[in-house]
Each structure stands twice: as C-alpha cells, then as structure tokens.
Amino acid sequence: KEIELPIEQVCVADELIVRPGEKIPVDGAVLSGSSSVDESMITGESIPVEKIEGDPLIGATINQRGLLRMRATKVGADTVLASIIRMVEQAQGSKAPIQRLADSISSIFVPVVLVIAALTFIGWAIVGNLTMTSAQAAGVMSASNPWIVAIVAAITVLVVACPCALGLATPTAIMVGTGKGAEQGILIRGGESLERIHAVRAILLDKTGTITKGKPELTDAIALEGMSVDDMLRLVAEAEQGSEHPLAAAIVEGAKARNLLLNAYPDRFTALAGRGLEATVEGYTLLVGTRHLLQERSIDFDAFQERLEALEQQGKTAMIVVIDGRPVGIVAVADTVKVGSAEAVKQLREQGLSVWMITGDNQRTAQAIAAQVGIPAEHVLAEVLPEDKANQVKRLQAQGLVVAFAGDGINDAPALVQADAGIAMGTGTDIAMEAADITLVKGNLKSVATALALSRATLRTIRQNLFWAFAYNVVLIPTAILSPLIPFLRENAPIFAAAAMALSSVTVVSNSLRLRRFGRQV
C-alpha cells in the first residue's frame, strides 16, 4: 500500500518511492530501480551519479530520470544535509566581530577633548585674573572679562574638536562603497564584510558552479576517416533523444548548437545503466557508451585507446560510438569552464593572492580544470567532502593566512562561514548566499577580483578620512586653545570653529564620494 506522508513522519527503515525529477527526501539506500542522481549540491560532483540496487542515496539530492524504491537509513537531524546546516550554525556562532577603528578612537578622543577644554578654561581664567591689570594697561585684552575669555576659548576647543568628521569617516565610505558594489552586481552584507575581505591573502575557489558552469556540455566529437563528424554526431544525438540522462541532453544540445537537424527518433531504445545505450535510428544500430560496455560486447576499440586516454586526462567523460558493430568515433562531455574564469584567476594572482581550487570531484578532473584556468597543481584540493572543506579553510588559517572562500552550493556553506570572507555566487543556492559576506549576482568569477579591489579602495578611503579628521584636530585644537592671543579670532573664535568643523565634515564626505569613480579605475 502506497501512502503520502509529511517528511517529518518518515522513520528509519521506511520504504519510499522517488519519482523522476523529485528530491530524495532522506538519506537511504536503493532497494530497486536505477537512475542518475544529481548530487552536485552536496558532493560537488558535476556529472550525475548512476544509482542501482544497494547504492547509497543522500537526502535533498535530485533524482533525474528513473523510478527508485529506497529504504530510509537516516532521518531528521541525522541526515547529511542537517549535519551541514549544524556546521554552518556553529561556525556563525564562533566568528568574532571586528571592532570598528573609529569607535575605539572616539571612545578615547571625546574624554581627552573634554579634559583639554576644561584645562583651557582653567588656564585662561588663571592667566586672565593674574594679568588683567597689566593687560588692560597694555591694551592687549582691552576691557575683556577674563572669565568670558576663558569660557569662549573652552567653547572654541569643544566646537572645533566636535568629532563629526571622525564619525562620518567610516559610514560614508562604506555607504558609497557598498552602493558602488551593488551597481556592479556585488552585494556586500555590510561594513564588517568589507573590513574582512580587504585583508585576504589566500582564496579558495570551489570548482562546480564557481569556476565551471556546473552542467555538462558536449566538448568533442571525433570520427574515423571515412565517417563524417556531422553524420556521426547527428545519429548519436537522434539516438540520445530517447534518453533522459543529463549526458544525453548535453549531446542533443551540442548537436543543435552545431546546427544539425535531428529529424528522426530511435525506433528501438535501451538504456544500459552506468554504461551507455543501444538504439536503432534511421536503419542503423547504434551502441554509445564506455569502454566497459564495448569490452562486454567483445568489440575492439584499440584504434581509439590513445584518444580516449587523452580526453579522460582532460577530465572529460568520453563515449565510444559503434554503428552496425563497427567503432566509428568518440563523443566527449564535460563540465566546462565559465567564460572569464581564467582571466579572473590571473587578476587574483596579480593582486598578490594565493589562489586554490577545492572540489568534491575526482583528482583527474580537478587537475584538468585547474590547468585550464592557471591554478598550480599543488594548489588543487580534490575529493573533499563538505565537512572537510571547512577543515581545509581552517588549515590555511592556521598558517596565518586571511582566507576567502568562493562557492555556490549547500556543500560550500560551512566553508563560506568558516572563511574570513565568504563569497557566494548569485546563481547558487539560498543557503550559500545566506552564509556568505558577499554575493556575486552575475555568478561571474571576475567579480571576485573586483570585490577585493573595491574593498581595498573603500578601506583606503576610510583611512584617508580618519587621517584628515585627525590632521584637522591636530592643527585646529592648539589654534583654538591660543585663540585669545590671535587678534582676528578672540570673541569670534567659536564662529570660525563652527565653520572649520563643517568644512572638515564636507572634506570627509567629498573624499568618500570619490569612490563613485571606482568602476572607471578597474
């Protein structure tokens, strides 16, 4: 008897049915059926994984084509997804906040100014009363009351030292910087995120969905002499139209992109789980699959051995095409590198960053992708599980490096939170964006270099603002203290102090507004 239950009521050992296109509800194992499952959100493996009887299933991954009957082995808080969420929450709770420079300075500056103003009042009151008679005789402070002179001097110190410029130094730069980032598709969580990212010295880039597109595409079609590549690819694509497998969809889309007309559908079609397919199309019998499939059928493919190995070394999934019992060519599919990824890695390295690639994918594929974008082989971390991604970030942090992590999947969330600066692709999952300090709306890796440059420009502007605010006080506080001795100030000193205070605030705001030109400088 088949019944529908809320996921909260599923218990260990329950038997469940997962239809094509549905999410696998809990962790379990296949009892019967076969399918391909997209596990990229958890493992980072870009190519869907074939599942047959006895194979493990991970909750929240997507069943793509076949009907699966499974037994639940872990439910609720025990599932892989729940453990990832727990890790994210723990990492968020352990991240120490950065103390604002301006706040810590203000906490010292304000009491010091109050003391200086008090000393100014006391000093001029004593000097005025002691020298009042002689000063009047000399005409220096003509009929001025020494207590009024002292009060005016003290007020001048307080007005001129009003920390408006100091208070505006940080928020104005952050406001303009984050606004400029938003214009360029870089969403920055706040000033603390900007402060974190500017100090980054090493960056870990997740492979699937960050460096690569995250879905398979047709990359190669090779035919033996005497066979047209277009004819071979057209027949293969027509045969693959009978399959729901993601690799089949990639071949069909690749053939259409080459303007090949797919007018026929297979008359007979058999999917061979984990190995390939057998079909009859346009009167030809086609076999498309792995070397293991050809070995099972005792078909000699020595002529393709060298090319097969070369394609596999590049991290591609290569399939041999057999027509009417004769091997005629190879089609290869791979998760391809995003446009601009290689340039982005180059820009990051030019900024002095140590660039690493991290992935749950196999070592061979990882090395092939890294070579394409210019990441050194020794900076490639492959076959890394979700919990180990966060550990790899900790390992680099233990070496004294300030680490940024860029990723897009649920499996990246713990590492995004653990990193000093987390960068999520806007094309990725909600949990990744929630865990990150910065979200790149376009999902373009080149925006990582732009975000780092923007954060440095913003922090540079904040330092300049703080410098001008302090330089202004260093010059004008002594002037305010001595204002009774300066002929054109004296009683008018507070007016000049107010004007100077306003000018310092305008200077700081104007300097922050220079960040609006950032896009033209990058």
CATH of the domain at 324: 3.40.1110.10
Rounded Cα–Cα distance for residues 215 and 117 (Å): 68
Listed residues 305, 336, 367: the one ending a domain: 336
Instruction: Tell me if 385 is assigned to some domain.
Output: no
Query: What range defines the domain where residue 89 resides?
Result: 7-94
| Main-chain phi, psi angles of 67, to 5 degrees | -85, 125
50 and 147 co-located in one domain = no
With a pLDDT cut of 70, the percent of the chain lying above it is: 88
Beta strand pairing call for 403-407 and 202-206? parallel
Listed residues 63, 78, 94: the one ending a domain: 94
User: Which tens digits make up the pLDDT trace of 415-433?
Assistant: 888 888 888 887 666 666 6
Instruction: Tell me if 365 is assigned to some domain.
Output: no
- Reduce the DSSP state of residue 80 to 3 states and report it: helix
In the predicted model, is pLDDT for residue 446 greater than 50? Answer: yes
**Average pLDDT of the chain, as a whole number:** 81
Tell if the pTM clears 0.85, that is, is over it. Answer: no
68 and 158 co-located in one domain = no
Exactly one of 38, 206, 408, 437 is catalytic; which is it? 206
129 and 87 co-located in one domain = no
Instruction: Tell me if 447 is assigned to some domain.
Output: no
Rounded Cα–Cα distance for residues 322 and 304 (Å): 12
In the predicted model, is pLDDT for residue 407 greater than 70? Answer: yes
Give the sign of the dihedral formed by CA 220, CA 223, CA 225, CA 226: negative
Listed residues 46, 63, 94: the one ending a domain: 94
User: Which tens digits make up the pLDDT trace of 9-25?
Assistant: 899 989 999 988 888 99
Q: How confident is the model at residue 96 (pLDDT cuts 50, 70, 90)?
A: very low
Rounded Cα–Cα distance for residues 254 and 258 (Å): 6
Q: How far is CA 202 from the centre of its chain?
A: 13
Q: What is the mean pLDDT of residues 238-256?
A: 84
In the predicted model, is pLDDT for residue 370 greater than 60? Answer: yes
38 and 112 co-located in one domain = no
Residue 90 belongs to domain with CATH number: 2.70.150.10
Instruction: Tell me if 29 is assigned to some domain.
Output: yes
Q: Is 216 exposed, middle or buried (0-12, 13-18, 19+ CB in 10 A)?
A: buried
Q: What is the mean pLDDT of residues 376-396?
A: 86
In the predicted model, is pLDDT for residue 491 greater than 80? Answer: no
63 and 161 co-located in one domain = no
Instruction: Tell me if 196 is assigned to some domain.
Output: no
User: Which tens digits make up the pLDDT trace of 29-85?
Assistant: 999 888 888 877 666 566 788 888 888 998 888 888 788 999 999 998 888 777 766
In the predicted model, is pLDDT for residue 185 greater than 50? Answer: yes
Measured N-to-C along each axis, helices 446-481 and 164-183 cross at an angle, to the nearest 10 degrees, of 160
227: Cβ–Cβ under 8 A, 6 or more apart, which residues? 323, 328, 329
In the predicted model, is pLDDT for residue 329 greater than 70? Answer: yes
**Total count of domains within the chain:** 3
259 and 291 co-located in one domain = yes
* pLDDT of amino acid 30: 93
Instruction: Tell me if 111 is assigned to some domain.
Output: yes
224 and 322 co-located in one domain = yes
In the predicted model, is pLDDT for residue 225 greater than 80? Answer: no
Comparing CA positions, the residue from 186, 223, 65, 170 lying closest to residue 465 is: 170
42 and 108 co-located in one domain = no
117 and 75 co-located in one domain = no
Instruction: Tell me if 401 is assigned to some domain.
Output: no
Comparing CA positions, the residue from 294, 334, 292, 329 lying closest to residue 313 is: 334
Q: How confident is the model at residue 520 (pLDDT cuts 50, 70, 90)?
A: low
Cβ atoms 38, 64 nearer than 8 A: yes
300 and 264 co-located in one domain = yes
85 and 21 co-located in one domain = yes
| Helix (H), strand (E) counts: the chain | 18, 20
| Main-chain phi, psi angles of 199, to 5 degrees | -90, 5
Instruction: Tell me if 228 is assigned to some domain.
Output: yes
Rounded Cα–Cα distance for residues 16 and 4 (Å): 10
In the predicted model, is pLDDT for residue 94 greater than 70? Answer: no
In the predicted model, is pLDDT for residue 145 greater than 80? Answer: no
58 and 139 co-located in one domain = no
To the query of whether residue 388 is one of the catalytic residues in this protein, the response is no
